[in-house]
Amino acid sequence: MRDRSSMAGGARGSRAGGKRGGGGSASSSSAAASACVYYATTALLVALCVAGACFLTSTSGAASSSSAAADGDAAAGSVTAYRHTTRSSFAYEVTRERAVPAPPRGAAGDASAAVGAGTGSDEEGAEEESQPKSAVAAAAMAVMDDPHAKPDDRGGSDEAGMGMEEEHRVSAAAMEDVKGEDGDTAGGAEASAEDAAVKEQEAVLEEKLEMPHEQARAAVEEKNLDGGIEEESNAAGQRQREEEQSALDDPAAGGGLRREAQEETQIDADERASEHEQQPGEAESEQRQPEEEQVRSSASDTNVEAAFGDRNGDGGDGDKASAVDESLVGEARAEEQRAWATQADQSHREKDRRDGESDVAAGGGESGEEQQQEWRVCNVKAGADYIPCLDNEKAIKKLRPENFRRYEHRERHCPDEGPTCLVPLPAGYRRPIEWPKSRDMIWYSNVPHTKLVEVKGHQNWVKVSGQHLTFPGGGTQFIHGALHYIDFLQQSVRGIGWGKHTRVVLDVGCGVASFGGYLFERDVVTVSFAPKDEHEAQVQMALERGIPAISAVMGSKRLPFPSKAFDLVHCARCRVPWHADGGALLLELNRVLRPGGFFVWSATPVYQKLPEDVEIWKAMTSLTKSMCWELAGIKKDRLNGIAAAFYRKPTTNECYEGRKRQQPPMCSDDDDANAAWYIRLNSCMHRVPTATTERGARWPAEWPRRVRTPPYWLDATRAGVYGKPEPEDFTVDYDHWRRIVDKSYLNGLGIDWSRVRNVMDMRAAYGGFAAALREKKVWVMNVVNVDAPDTLPIIFERGLFGIYHDWCESFSTYPRTYDLLHADHLFSKIKERCAVLPVVVEVDRIVRPGGGIIVRDEAGAVGEVEKLLRSLHWDVRLTFSKNDEGVLYAEKSDWRPELIEEPL
């Protein structure tokens, strides 16, 4: 193109010079000067045009790769937003509309913002089943898994190609105009040359009226995360536009007429854009199909269409899933509240809620303050091990001496407002060792505490070996290894049946949790807990190893679990005073133990004859008999030199009714055994359920069948969380999360699952997300929010585990202890009760550097979380939104601020 333009320009200049006549030296000198000016101008314009063409070609290519195969024009106003963010911090957005004049470039930025909100719809027909051209686009469709949130399959590649071709035509025409003007100036062109120039200008004008220059440019844009064009491409494009505008503005060349026509087109586009801004609801409703309108209008506050929608493009199966999913939204929120009590409701019946809890400032999700947040490092005594609700020194100082006797100083005392400072990293922190190697060794720099090494090293708990802390697998009661001890327990008493009959275990006073760590080999999951006390960081060591654990204590309040939850409770020399205070602590274990389940107690009073041990054994014997616990046996482990007592909880009420002394007493009928959130202990026993339809009346199905089988006590006459009959609700939830996990989470989000071990579902329902991951080498802490339907008993029934929690407070875990968090419509719910900012700070505290979070929520909530995570220097890898629903995946970096919080 460069050679042809030069030759054409040279011929035209020669003709102009010849017609001026005259062969003198003055004429030759003048012609030479004019030719030099002309050639320089021509070369500059050609270079600018080539740069502009390259920019348009690259932009068109990006749009083509991000969109699916073109199947026709999209409906008017149809918008799909899809941003796949990599470490280069660029996002790709595709906007498809009918062929109408584009708004001005100033308005285009506003339109892009609207696209980010994620509204849009798909046309009916076979086109919507076409496969996307990129794996990332396919992952985005799967991760939303919603009939109203599927990315638009139809591309705009044809329109983009036409726009690029038109851009070339307009640029070439403008270049020819300028060259014609230069030739006339240099050579004094005669009437015939002027006529030719006018004809060229008119031809260009006709082309520009057919397709405005700005519309072709707005067809596809490549933007970075701040909405701007790449700097280098922007500079080249800006220079090209300035040169073209200069040519258009020249009245002598007819540019004034072209500019007039272009301004009329822009005014028309402005009017269209203004109408669209004034009536966004009407435009959106015209796009949406009637059946989609019906689904959205009948959906409850639980965002059922986002949680259960599926359009997988597999013919009959897809239609069947879609039909089931749409039927889920038939019930309103009121029905949900009638069918399911919440943990908050249950706890409220047992006690007065803490002062002001229900009056937590609402509207905390204002993004204005969050955007201006100045991050600082927490200035606390706990330093890198800071747990806000367990390290609240101000609250602990107010406790009385008798509170310390009942270990209340080890319980939760949360600050009035969630902290907004960031926990520092320990010096020399390194990315954790992957499972299963992590069970045997961790980096010393990550948990730089040696007290357990000094106190328990001879019992094979933990040792220091160079840069590592190593765990030989021993414990106080199983010095020669946990696996031998685990097999010893199963062989001692019939009915334990690790991994079949016994699936979910509670380990009290877990130490470094080697017992739970090795039970994984027997297909058993264990919730281990120990207090944050003078035994430095034992729970932190457990979590760093990849073993489930929480910081908790048997003190004055109930454990955050429902009643009749655990198949077996274990205490290996945990030094808990079970017999004290009327047996209050042992009665709490009785509450959470499933009828027919075992309490395994391997402690010195079982097998030693020291005076103190003999006294404790007599007290325990009297207490367990009055509790109607059967002593199933006492067995000795000769290898480890210890013995264990096996107690079994009754499955009927006959023993309770036949007791001569009603001590401990039976709980009153209005005492809710499932109320567990800040409920003080009550030294009483709840009756065993006997009706065949009551939870706990019989043992669950054997593992793994129990994970996929609806619990027998679910009632088909009652509506579940999502409005369907409870058993059907359970099944659809299970199928839904299997599709989501298989189609997108495992492959589409770019998660390195080899580095994922500790997972938390921050707002679990039936535990379907955890069930879908059971084949992976991960464990999932299912968190049931206190203001959500109380489905935690179902989670335990299916052989999974979890905990009650209020995300307006800090979670009872050490910093940097989870690899992946999953938040399904959590933040939009949180905003109803407390601020989002402290919750995001808590997420930053919990997640390990290199770990991540998946957020599925309303588009506004996702955008708010995204802004905060970016300000925290998280790497936002994927954002996708449509129909006011969005998905985000982000990974935490090693960044910490330099500023330090002012001391309190």
What pLDDT score does 196 carry?
Answer: 53
What pLDDT score does 592 carry?
Answer: 98
Q: Is the model's pLDDT at 17 over the cut of 90? A: no
Strands 221-224 and 90-93: antiparallel
Please give the average per-residue pLDDT across 339-363, as a whole number: 57
Phi/psi for 550 (5° steps) reads -135, 155
How far is C-alpha 522 from the chain's CA centre? 31
d(CA 97, CA 551): 55
**Which region among 102-116, 621-635, 751-765, 816-830 has the lowest average model confidence (pLDDT)?**
102-116
What pLDDT score does 456 carry?
Answer: 85
Please give the average per-residue pLDDT across 218-225, as a whole number: 34
* 846: confidence class by pLDDT, cuts 50, 70, 90: very high
**Which region among 217-231, 384-398, 620-634, 744-758 has the lowest average model confidence (pLDDT)?**
217-231
SS3 of 545-603? HCCCEEECCCCCECCCCCCCCEEEEEEECCCCCCCCHHHHHHHHHHHHEEEEEEEEEEC
pLDDT, greater one: 620 or 236: 620
Please give the average per-residue pLDDT across 160-177, as a whole number: 44
**Which region among 41-45, 58-62, 289-293 has the lowest average model confidence (pLDDT)?**
289-293
Torsion of the alpha carbons at 497, 499, 502 and 505, rounded to the nearest 10: 130
d(CA 851, CA 874): 10
The percent of residues in the chain predicted with pLDDT above 70, rounded, is 61
Q: Is the model's pLDDT at 150 over the cut of 60? A: no
Distances in whole angstroms, Cα of residue 579 to Cα of each of 507, 618, 619, 894: 18, 10, 6, 47
What pLDDT score does 349 carry?
Answer: 61
pLDDT, greater one: 700 or 902: 700
Please give the average per-residue pLDDT across 8-19, as a whole number: 40
What pLDDT score does 47 carry?
Answer: 76
What pLDDT score does 145 carry?
Answer: 55
Quote the mean pLDDT of the chain.
75
Half-sphere exposure of residue 152: CA atoms within 13 angstroms, side-chain side: 34
Q: What is the pLDDT of residues 483-503, one digit of tens each?
A: 999 999 999 999 999 999 999
d(CA 39, CA 29): 15
Q: What is the pLDDT of residues 421-479, one digit of tens each?
A: 999 999 999 999 999 999 999 999 999 999 989 888 888 899 999 999 999 999 989 99
Cβ-contact 706, 700 below 8 angstroms? yes
Element (H, E) at 239: helix 231-248
631 beta partners: 647
Please give the average per-residue pLDDT across 11-15, as a whole number: 40
What pLDDT score does 644 carry?
Answer: 98
**Which region among 63-72, 366-375, 852-861 has the lowest average model confidence (pLDDT)?**
63-72
Q: What is the pLDDT of residues 266-293, one digit of tens each?
A: 444 444 444 444 444 444 444 433 333 3
**Which region among 194-208, 698-712, 797-811 has the lowest average model confidence (pLDDT)?**
194-208
Strands 81-84 and 90-93: unpaired
SS3 of 359-422? HCCCCCCCHHHHHCCCCCECCCCCHHHCCCCCCCHHHHCCCCHHHHHCCHHHCCCCCCCCCCCE
What pLDDT score does 201 carry?
Answer: 52
List, in order, residues 6 or more apart from 135 with CB less than 8 Å away: 747, 748
* 41: confidence class by pLDDT, cuts 50, 70, 90: confident
pTM of the model: 0.68
What pLDDT score does 599 carry?
Answer: 98
SS3 of 452-506? HHHHHHHHCCCEEECCEEECCCCCCCCCCCHHHHHHHHHHHCCCCCECCCECEEE
The percent of residues in the chain predicted with pLDDT above 90, rounded, is 55
* 42: confidence class by pLDDT, cuts 50, 70, 90: confident
**Which region among 132-146, 227-241, 338-352, 522-536 has the lowest average model confidence (pLDDT)?**
227-241
Please give the average per-residue pLDDT across 643-661, as a whole number: 96
What pLDDT score does 458 carry?
Answer: 83
d(CA 465, CA 817): 22
Distances in whole angstroms, Cα of residue 885 to Cα of each of 75, 97, 124, 448, 751: 20, 21, 20, 43, 21
What pLDDT score does 342 carry?
Answer: 83
Torsion sign (Cα): 307, 313, 314, 320: positive
What pLDDT score does 48 carry?
Answer: 77
Q: Is the model's pLDDT at 709 over the cut of 50? A: yes
What pLDDT score does 203 carry?
Answer: 52
Cβ-contact 126, 313 below 8 angstroms? no
Q: Is the model's pLDDT at 684 over the cut of 80? A: yes
pLDDT, greater one: 703 or 108: 703
* 162: confidence class by pLDDT, cuts 50, 70, 90: very low
* 344: confidence class by pLDDT, cuts 50, 70, 90: confident
Element (H, E) at 670: none
238-266 as b/e, with b when 16 or more CB fall inside 10 Å? eebbebbeebbeeeebbbeebeebbeebb
Residue that has been written with the tokens 């390259």 in this structure: 54
* CA nearest neighbour of 446 among 435, 430, 469: 430
What pLDDT score does 584 carry?
Answer: 96
pLDDT, greater one: 556 or 42: 556
What pLDDT score does 141 carry?
Answer: 59
DSSP for 417-437, written as a single string: S---SBPPPPTT--PPPPTTG
What pLDDT score does 455 carry?
Answer: 87
Residue 786 corresponds to which tokens in the numbers above? 């206190």
Torsion of the alpha carbons at 279, 281, 283 and 288, rounded to the nearest 10: -170
759 beta partners: 780, 820
What pLDDT score does 265 carry?
Answer: 42
CA-angle at 846, arms to 842 and 848, nearest 5°: 135
pLDDT, greater one: 239 or 804: 804
Please give the average per-residue pLDDT across 819-823, as a whole number: 98
Please give the average per-residue pLDDT across 509-533, as a whole number: 95
Please give the average per-residue pLDDT across 740-751, as a whole number: 94
What pLDDT score does 61 carry?
Answer: 47
* CA nearest neighbour of 560 among 882, 783, 797: 783
Please give the average per-residue pLDDT across 114-120, as a whole number: 38
Cβ-contact 540, 513 below 8 angstroms? no
pLDDT, greater one: 262 or 638: 638
What pLDDT score does 674 carry?
Answer: 96
What pLDDT score does 180 carry?
Answer: 45
pLDDT, greater one: 175 or 597: 597
Please give the average per-residue pLDDT across 828-840, as a whole number: 95
